[in-house]
Amino acid sequence: MSRTWSASFLDQLRAYGTLTEAPFGYHLRLAQAGQWRAVAQLLKTEGQVDYFLALTATHHPPEMHLRYDLRSLLRLTDIAVSFAVGESEAVPSVADIWAAAKWQEREAYDLVGVQFSGHPDLRRILLPADWEGHPLRCDYAMPEVYHDVPLIYQPPNAPI
């Protein structure tokens, strides 16, 4: 895979955090989550990052950890951008920069509870609208019943 970003562009990225080379391209660990939107715009415009691969969100109390996997098809280079935010902090949406982020930000909201400021339609995508909580959070307690349907599976003939 060709890594054709210029040294000056890589220096611009280093100004935002720790940039390391990885087998897939680069990994940028942001010093501050508030820098994410500026970095996303820089990657899109100057880095020609045109493909939003994935968004991963995990709950590590008292923080949420996010990782964005992105690709420049023109430059044949991938970059992962990661950062942590407080559980109640909102992350700036990048749905207007990469359209694929619309669905993946909704999934991170639905399952982990990450709030995205500026998202055009932040609502549940996998679970029913009236579902309470976010099932991939460490503090989530699975309800026993949902609309009179038992959710805790009991195998037949299992002792109760």
Q: What is the CATH number of the domain that holds 53?
A: 3.30.460.80
**Residue-range definition of the domain harbouring residue 95:** 7-150
* pTM: predicted TM-score of the whole model, two decimal places: 0.89
Strands of the chain, DSSP E: 17-22, 25-30, 51-60, 63-72, 77-86, 90-92, 115-117, 145-146, 149-150
Position 113, amino acid = G
Let me know if residue 1 belongs to a domain.
no
156 within domain boundaries: no
The domain tally of the chain equals 1
Q: Would you state the structure tokens that stand for residue 24, as one six-digit string?
A: 């897939």
Segment among 14-18, 94-98, 155-159 with least mean pLDDT: 155-159
- 159 φ/ψ angles, rounded to the nearest 5 degrees: -65, 140
Per-residue model confidence as pLDDT tens digits over 52-111: 999 999 999 999 999 999 999 999 999 999 999 999 999 999 999 999 999 999 999 999
Q: For 28, list phi and psi in degrees, rounded to 5.
A: -115, 115
- Inside any domain, residue 112: yes
Q: What is the pLDDT of residues 107-136, one digit of tens each?
A: 999 999 999 999 999 999 999 999 999 999
- pLDDT at position 88 is 93
